[in-house]
């Protein structure tokens, strides 16, 4: 419940501090006294739109603060504790909002700076505001559907359907994406297949380009290679002057020296080994020279192959490893594209299953809504009869297309409230037949019917009794008082029959303080309350009879 409200420099409210009681609170006062300013302040504290025009003239900031006591097990408690705003045992939430002419508005939740978005999210779970504009929302079919769901306790069924709907919708969007991609995939696949065939045919191997370049250099220089090889063999094998001949002379000299000095045995051994190595080198050099020959045909083949490799390098990368990598990537993408077809087939199968499950949930929800609508219409008619609308026909139509199901976020059905206030006239959509006063009573009837199911702790009605009077006003007052058993209810009213039902009565008065207009709020009890209700009954002239009537109204309300 709303336990306290503090307002500083808001419109014509200079400074105001109010404490509230549970149950039904009425706010009365002359037109223009500032009653609606209190409601505007509360609306801002639950996320309403602020304006610099709301700041009191001559000041730079307006400050609004409200204290809420959260009922045990209210879902908002756990949420605020998770956010660190409420302590483990706390149950009080203090909301403060500062409106500045500079535009630097601030929001605080239990002293912690927060965002307006966070405040807006909390607001709908704390306070339910009902004015002329809010009554108009009752004309929307989406609102009417949510009211039926609340009456029928269908929240879990709705959540199950919505979860299934979101999954089905996401799968359909994924299917459409794959279909769009498939329109381009055929061209892409043809290109990749061509490229893959080109690379398969090339049969590339790692390091092939370096091997071919080496072979090309040998073939291009075969004459020079032959001459150099012959020169090398001549230097090794030349008669008398070759390295082997000179080494033989060295070996003989060392042999003679070994007979004189046995310590040079190692030199002799090295000479023998060198001779063996040189003979091996000479043999390999001879074989190499014999293999070297001019082969223009092979050279042409190498040139052609290198040209192919160069073309592929330009097309797929700057080097042979990059070309080989591109080949692997192309193969992988082709496999993926082929898998996309399978993915689309599987997705379509999944959508078919999801759609069947969703259709079952939708039909079950449709049936349950129809059953809840019948029960609710009956109870609402009883409430309307108590609100002096006994001849009224009130119906709730729940319909769905007979043909192919069209799934929506809330189901397959449409919910429509229909009303007839004139005997013999067929019931028509609420928007076409309900006057302001009738709409107010329908709203109140619905709130009464949903009182035990509605978890919003604070209900505020801003002149919900507009357009009614007499016995109807008395009935409205009794229903508002009855709502006070389940909620904390506030109502701005000009009707004494409604005001008399209040369990707390606040009177808003406007006066002049020097050159400034100020508004004050007083809690009325006893004689003061009788005087205010007598004023509402008699206007400027308050007679003894009027006072007696006021006292009777108050006494009747307490019975």
Domain boundaries, the chain: 1-132+457-524, 185-336, 525-559
Token reading at 281: 């080198």
Asked if residues 392 and 421 have their Cβ atoms less than 8 Å apart, the reply is yes
Token reading at 492: 């701005």
What is the DSSP secondary-structure string of 385-443?
A: HHTT-TT-EEEEEEEE-SSS---BTTBSEEEEEEEE-STTPPPEEHHHH--HHHHHHHH
For residue 137, the model assigns a pLDDT of 63
For residue 403, the model assigns a pLDDT of 67
CA distance 324 to 161: 52
CA distance 364 to 400: 12
Helices (H), 203-242: 208-220, 222-237
Helix axes 470-483, 320-386, angle to 10 degrees: 130
Sequence-separated (6 or more) residues with CB below 8 Å from residue 499 = 26, 28, 477, 493, 505, 532, 533, 536
Asked if residues 292 and 229 have their Cβ atoms less than 8 Å apart, the reply is yes
Token reading at 43: 């609306």
pTM of the model: 0.62
Using DSSP, state whether 244 is helix, strand or coil. helix
Q: Quick one: which of 470, 519, 461 has its CA closest to 491?
A: 461
Token reading at 390: 């006994």
Q: Which residues of 6-25 are buried (b: 16+ CB within 10 A; e: fewer)?
A: bbbbbbbbbebebebebbbb
For residue 212, the model assigns a pLDDT of 86
For residue 265, the model assigns a pLDDT of 85
pLDDT digits (tens, 9 = 90+) for 115-154: 888 888 887 778 887 765 555 566 778 878 988 998 999 9
pLDDT digits (tens, 9 = 90+) for 307-349: 888 888 888 888 888 988 889 988 888 887 766 667 788 899 9
Asked if residues 142 and 314 have their Cβ atoms less than 8 Å apart, the reply is no
For residue 3, the model assigns a pLDDT of 93
CA distance 483 to 67: 21
Which residue positions in the chain have pLDDT lower than 70?
Answer: 131-138, 294, 338-341, 402-404, 434-437, 467, 558-559
Burial class of residue 378 in the structure, from the number of CB atoms within 10 Å of its CB (0-12 exposed, 13-18 middle, 19+ buried):
exposed
User: What DSSP designation does 457 have?
Assistant: S
For residue 338, the model assigns a pLDDT of 67
Asked if residues 354 and 398 have their Cβ atoms less than 8 Å apart, the reply is no
Burial class of residue 556 in the structure, from the number of CB atoms within 10 Å of its CB (0-12 exposed, 13-18 middle, 19+ buried):
middle
For residue 34, the model assigns a pLDDT of 83
For residue 219, the model assigns a pLDDT of 76
1-132+457-524 maps to CATH 1.10.3720.10: no
Reduced DSSP (H G I as helix, E B as strand, rest coil) percent helix, strand, coil of the chain, to 5:
60, 20, 25
Bridge partners for 517 per DSSP:
512
């Amino acid at each position: 419940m709303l336990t306290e409200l503090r307002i500083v420099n808001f419109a014509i409210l200079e400074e105001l501090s109010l404490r509230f009681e549970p149950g039904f609170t009425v706010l009365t006062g002359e037109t223009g006294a500032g009653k609606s300013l209190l409601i505007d302040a509360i609306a801002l504290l639950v996320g309403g739109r602020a304006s610099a025009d709301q700041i009191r003239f001559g000041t730079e900031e307006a400050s609004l603060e409200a204290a809420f006591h959260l009922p045990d097990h209210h879902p908002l408690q756990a949420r605020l504790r998770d956010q660190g705003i409420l302590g483990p045992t706390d149950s009080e939430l203090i909301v403060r909002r500062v409106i500045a002419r500079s535009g630097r508005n601030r929001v605080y939740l239990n002293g912690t700076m927060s965002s307006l978005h966070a405040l807006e999210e909390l607001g709908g779970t704390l306070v339910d505001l009902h004015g002329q504009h809010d009554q108009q929302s009752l004309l929307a079919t989406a609102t009417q559907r949510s009211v039926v769901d609340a009456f029928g306790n269908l929240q879990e069924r709705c959540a199950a359907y919505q979860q299934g709907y979101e999954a089905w919708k996401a799968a359909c969007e994924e299917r459409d994406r794959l279909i769009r991609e498939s329109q381009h995939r055929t061209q892409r696949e043809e290109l990749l297949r061509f490229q893959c065939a080109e690379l398969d045919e090339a049969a590339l191997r790692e390091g092939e380009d370096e091997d071919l370049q080496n072979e090309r250099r040998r073939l291009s220089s075969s004459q020079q290679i032959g001459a150099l090889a012959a020169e090398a063999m001549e230097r090794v094998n030349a008669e008398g002057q070759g390295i082997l001949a000179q080494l033989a002379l060295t070996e003989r000299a060392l042999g003679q020296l070994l007979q004189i000095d046995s310590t040079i045995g190692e030199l002799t051994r090295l000479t023998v080994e060198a001779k063996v190595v040189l003979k091996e080198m000479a043999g390999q050099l001879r074989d190499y020279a014999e293999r070297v020959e001019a082969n223009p045909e092979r050279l042409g083949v190498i040139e052609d192959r290198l040209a192919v490799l160069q073309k592929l390098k330009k097309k797929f990368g700057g080097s042979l490893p990059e070309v080989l990598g591109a080949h692997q990537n192309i193969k992988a993408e082709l496999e993926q594209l082929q898998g996309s077809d399978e993915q689309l087939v599987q997705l379509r199968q999944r959508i078919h299953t999801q759609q069947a499950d969703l259709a079952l949930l939708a039909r079950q929800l449709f049936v349950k809504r129809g059953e809840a609508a019948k029960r609710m219409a009956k109870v609402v008619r009883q409430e309307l009869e108590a609100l002096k609308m006994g001849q009224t026909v009130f119906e709730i139509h729940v319909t769905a297309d007979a043909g192919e199901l069209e799934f929506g976020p809330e189901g397959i059905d449409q919910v429509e409230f229909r009303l007839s206030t004139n005997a013999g006239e067929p019931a028509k959509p609420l928007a076409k037949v309900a006057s302001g006063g009738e709409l107010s009573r329908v709203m109140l009837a619905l709130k009464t019917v949903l009182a035990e199911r509605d978890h919003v702790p604070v209900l505020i009605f801003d002149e919900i009794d507009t357009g009614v009077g007499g016995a109807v006003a008395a009935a409205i007052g009794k229903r508002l008082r009855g709502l006070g058993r389940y909620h904390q209810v506030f109502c701005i009213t000009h009707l004494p029959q409604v005001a008399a039902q209040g369990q707390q009565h606040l009177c808003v008065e406007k006066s002049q303080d020097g050159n400034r207009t100020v508004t004050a709020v007083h809690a009325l009890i006893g004689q003061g309350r009788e005087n205010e209700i007598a004023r509402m009954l008699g206007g400027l002239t308050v007679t003894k009879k009027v006072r007696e009537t006021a006292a009777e109204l108050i006494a009747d309300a307490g019975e």
